[in-house]
Structure 1
Amino acid sequence: MLGRYELLEQVGSGGMAVVYRGRDTALDREVAVKLLHPHLASAPDSRARFSREARAVARLSHPSIVEIYDYAGDAAVESYLVTEFVRGRTLRAWAAGVGFGFPELGMLVGRTLADALAHAHAAGVIHRDLKPENVLVHEDEPPSVKLADFGIARILASDERMTMTGALVGSPHHMAPEIVEGHDADARSDVFSLGTILYWLATGKLPFAASNPTAILRRVLEGDFEDPRQADPRVPGALAALIRRCLQVDPAKRPASMVEVRDALDRILAEVGIDRPGDALLAFLRDPAAVKAAFPARAGAALVALGDAAAAEGAAARALGYYDRVLAIDPANAEVPAKLARLARRRRLRRAAAIAGAALAVLAAVGAVALTVGPRLRAALAPAPRPPPPAVARAAPEPAPAPAPATEAAAPPARAPAGAQGASAPGAGTPAAAAPHAAAAAVPFTVHVRPYAQRALLDGVEVAHDQQLVRFELAPGPHVIQVEHACCSPFVRRISAEEAARQGELRVPLEPRPARLRVEGDPATRVYLDGRLVGTAGESQRAPFLVAVPAGGESPYEAPARILLDLAGAPARTLDVKLRAGGEVTVAATQAQESP
């Protein structure tokens, strides 16, 4: 017994507390009792922080936050917290056993967490230790997702966080850089940690995974993670962009609030026909297999409708983006290929029309020049009249009016140069004025990018992001197009609208950057890559080895490689790793250094 609470069985244990399933004997209800470890409960500062956090979190009331019923109080011998008992599994265990199937279904959980955190932040409560293990999936009726352990990491002072039971308080996989560096957490720290969970929900991978905690924290501090769309091509561009913003090292560059994150997820879910994410999550938790099976058709219908609307507006690039997402979700979709073919025909016709328009503009300009310059040119090329005898020349003014009627028809062109400011100017100027107007039509220019463009810029201004098919609109004159991806060197090309009209489209396989290889452990360890000595572990710790992605794999942007680590007096280790262009691989020199 602990006061009025009967402890029935231990259900969990962590670095700070032991968790029991218990019964409230006064109210006869099942509860969870979290009992603080004695070495923490005996420290006055920890007890005081525990009480403050308990009172703060008890003010929260949200269906996706575990409710606090009671706490020990400041004068109690033992420090404990009493909460509702959630029957189910952690989100980590639930994902391993059930899975999400599609990034958007994972975002049903992500959106719920963002909403719960927005509620907590509005009350001034920061979680500080977001991770899948602190999210519980309640599997009784009605099923739900609940966020637990608010503020628990604050129970420890900053100098205790690295020493408690030999562990680090807070998972290094999910810890914001500013916390790693010893600064206080704020709402933006929770945004970063949620970003790591969104990445995991979308791709099934952790963004900063490495072989040991030190290497993980280094990647966190350097903002070194694989782009979500490279980790899983099905991740929508808008979701990848949101995750990248959440994982910015600089807190000022992250979304300003959890409300902004939640609203962005709402828009992403709405695109696949999920307008009521709360109801959709409930249905998913009740029957995950059925929802996963129905999702491709539901999402496909919504995305096709958006693609058709974009195509009707003439926004071909946006339409292609929606159609591409349909095929990413449902490669066997029979409707989209025909739409893509029609869209391609329409774009070819528009390109042909643009080329014809440009040609007509040129002809119009040439015609205008001919009307203005032709008479001058003929006059200049005509043979000069022989000078008359002096006597005739003096008498010529008198008969001059007689031939004037005979040459009246030819007179206006002859007078045009002298009367450029007069009546002939409008007639000559009309075609010339029309020519620039016709030539000003933008020329469409399509760039097919492999793997895809994280950013596409026209004359230094971003015009698209996270697109494999980038459509530029080039006004007359010279331009600079630039395509960027973190894995590769930027592609930059100068091109004129006229050249773009002739070429129509361009295929750009981006040039992969070298991968970075770092070896943790004894600096004397020799490192061999695919049988070739590349240096020592110490050299890689000072500056990672730059390693070209081996050719001959399925993709020029990632390939398997074999690393051999050889240290005198120790058995050699062989590791199979995957090298990704622009990414970093960190391995441990000895087996003992790898995380469990």
Structure 2
Amino acid sequence: MKELGEGGYGRVLLAKDKITGQRMALKTMDKNRTSQRSFLQEFCVSYFLSSHPNIIGCNGIAFTTIDYFVFAQELAPVGDLFSMITPYGIPEDSVKRCALQISNALEFISEKGLVHMDLKPENILVFDQDCHFIKITDFGLAKVRGTVITSRCGSKTYMAPELRDMTITDGLVVDGSLDVWAFGVTIYCLLLGEYPWQVAMPEDEGYRGFVDWQNNFHMDNPPEAWRKISTGIRRMFGVILAIDFSKRSKSTEILKYMNESWKEEIPDAITGQEDEDPIKSSSVQSEVTSISHLNTSQRSVTNKSLSYFLTTDTSVSQSEMTPLPQKDDMEESTDHIR
């Protein structure tokens, strides 16, 4: 029907089944840039994980044309999460809803022995403007946990320090902690509408300040970039963004903080809003979406906590929010697996 987007791999097209009328997204991959093995791997991983409510649906349709490999996915009517981020982030309740759903999906991916490797707002699709229903997509870089890689892959701003510091000689064993780091950076972007750093390397001033803070942790004296986040939530970031990956928590760590305020209040004079602060929490309904995939530790959180942030609303209104200035750059290198 029309083109929805274009990237280095190919295009995403809107299509409709002539018999049923069902609309879907067709992901096309240029054969000059994608091997058949890579195509089949992404298709199979997507199909394997698609039963989860917070992972994009994949209906098993795949085919080739002269120039492209193609497979069909569920259509997300609003677009990706990146396009919804304003200069002040998104409302706190929406951030919490996103965090719960992403955490749920990451636990499921981990339970299946996989690592996404490229989690970021651009790869999270949205089904309603208030983020009651979101889904992770794009498993083109996904790896089996325990795989040894010898070159970097993914998006540099969301890349964990151990991946940035990896050497070809030593390689790196792929682990779910890589996704948890990207999850932490994603939450920061959603909360504040900006990146905490451009790349997790000592040369980056923002990252260097974060490392110094974590090595000499004083909750009341964080770097400037972290003062917009409430005191208790800084502790949450300290464990999901632990520089030592062996000390990094699981994504479910965020469940302990659902009843706390995540943002410091910003005066109206700063935001330029007199009647309504655009980053204040929006009201939400109190119905729970499916939590059947939550593990035992997740269920220890009260139903009241979960129901406050999750709803079953799946309206399809299109967001008109202003995006971040630019999308994150991808690493161009290709993985070598042994």
Please state whether the residue corresponding to 1:192 is helix, strand or coil: helix
Given candidates 165, 168, 190, the residue that maps to 2:179 is 190
Q: CA deviation at 1:237?
A: 3.3
Amino acid at match of 1:109: C
Partner Cα distance (1:122, 1:38) in 2:
32
Given candidates 153, 175, 193, the residue that maps to 2:159 is 175
Please state whether the residue corresponding to 1:22 is helix, strand or coil: strand
Q: CA deviation at 1:254?
A: 0.6
Amino acid at match of 1:175: M
Matches within 5 A, 1:228-377: 230-233=224-227, 235-255=229-249, 257=250, 261-262=251-252, 264-271=253-260, 275-277=304-306, 280-282=309-311
Matches within 5 A, 1:104-123: 105-123=94-112
Partner Cα distance (1:187, 1:221) in 2:
27
Partner Cα distance (1:76, 1:238) in 2:
55
- On the 8 A contact 1:223/1:247 being kept in 2, the answer is no
> Which residue number corresponds to residue 133 of structure 1?
122
Amino acid at match of 1:176: A
- On the 8 A contact 1:176/1:220 being kept in 2, the answer is no
Cα deviation digits, residues 149-186 of structure 1 (max 9, x gap)? 124466xx97897xxxxxxx522110122333263532
Structure 1 spans left out of the alignment, 5+ residues: 1-7, 162-168, 210-214, 289-594
Partner Cα distance (1:89, 1:118) in 2:
24
- On the 8 A contact 1:126/1:151 being kept in 2, the answer is no
Partner Cα distance (1:11, 1:130) in 2:
20
Q: CA deviation at 1:57?
A: 2.6
Partner Cα distance (2:178, 2:310) in 1:
26
> Which residue number corresponds to residue 86 of structure 2?
96
- On the 8 A contact 2:200/2:207 being kept in 1, the answer is no
Partner Cα distance (1:59, 1:76) in 2:
26
Partner Cα distance (2:194, 2:207) in 1:
16
Given candidates 35, 57, 67, the residue that maps to 2:46 is 57
- On the 8 A contact 1:110/1:201 being kept in 2, the answer is no
- On the 8 A contact 2:54/2:134 being kept in 1, the answer is yes
> Which residue number corresponds to residue 208 of structure 1?
197
Amino acid at match of 1:280: F
Q: Report the count of equivalent residues.
A: 259
> Which residue number corresponds to residue 457 of structure 1?
none
Partner Cα distance (1:92, 1:284) in 2:
20
Amino acid at match of 1:34: K
- On the 8 A contact 2:26/2:70 being kept in 1, the answer is yes
* Structure with the larger RCO, 1 or 2 (CA within 8 Å, 6+ apart): 2
1:14 aligns with 2:7: yes
Amino acid at match of 1:35: T
> Which residue number corresponds to residue 37 of structure 2?
48
Q: CA deviation at 1:142?
A: 9.7
Q: CA deviation at 1:92?
A: 1.6
Partner Cα distance (2:209, 2:100) in 1:
22
Please state whether the residue corresponding to 2:118 is helix, strand or coil: coil
1:23 aligns with 2:21: no
Partner Cα distance (2:27, 2:125) in 1:
15
Q: CA deviation at 1:59?
A: 2.0
Cα deviation digits, residues 132-151 of structure 1 (max 9, x gap)? 11112212899511111124
Partner Cα distance (2:124, 2:68) in 1:
26
> Which residue number corresponds to residue 69 of structure 1?
59
> Which residue number corresponds to residue 78 of structure 1?
68
**TM-score normalised by the chain length of structure 1:** 0.38
Amino acid at match of 1:13: E
Q: CA deviation at 1:252?
A: 0.7
- On the 8 A contact 1:63/1:146 being kept in 2, the answer is yes
- On the 8 A contact 1:192/1:246 being kept in 2, the answer is yes
Partner Cα distance (1:224, 1:281) in 2:
36
Gap change, CA 1:178 and 1:16, over 3 Å in 2: farther
Partner Cα distance (1:249, 1:142) in 2:
29
- On the 8 A contact 1:16/1:37 being kept in 2, the answer is yes
Please state whether the residue corresponding to 1:72 is helix, strand or coil: strand
Gap change, CA 1:55 and 1:204, over 3 Å in 2: same
Please state whether the residue corresponding to 2:208 is helix, strand or coil: coil
Amino acid at match of 1:178: E
1:124 aligns with 2:113: yes
Partner Cα distance (1:236, 1:20) in 2:
41
Q: CA deviation at 1:39?
A: 1.7
Q: CA deviation at 1:73?
A: 6.0
Structure 2 spans left out of the alignment, 5+ residues: 214-221, 262-301, 318-328, 330-338
Partner Cα distance (1:178, 1:142) in 2:
31
Amino acid at match of 1:18: R
Q: CA deviation at 1:229?
A: 7.6
Gap change, CA 1:124 and 1:77, over 3 Å in 2: farther
Given candidates 137, 156, 159, the residue that maps to 1:148 is 137
Partner Cα distance (2:22, 2:72) in 1:
12
Answer 1 or 2: which has greater strand percent.
1
Amino acid at match of 1:183: L
Given candidates 27, 31, 37, the residue that maps to 1:38 is 31
Matches within 5 A, 1:501-512: none
Amino acid at match of 1:36: M
Amino acid at match of 1:250: D
Partner Cα distance (2:303, 2:313) in 1:
12
Partner Cα distance (2:307, 2:12) in 1:
29
Amino acid at match of 1:81: F
Please state whether the residue corresponding to 1:133 is helix, strand or coil: helix
Partner Cα distance (1:112, 1:274) in 2:
15
Amino acid at match of 1:231: A
Please state whether the residue corresponding to 1:252 is helix, strand or coil: helix
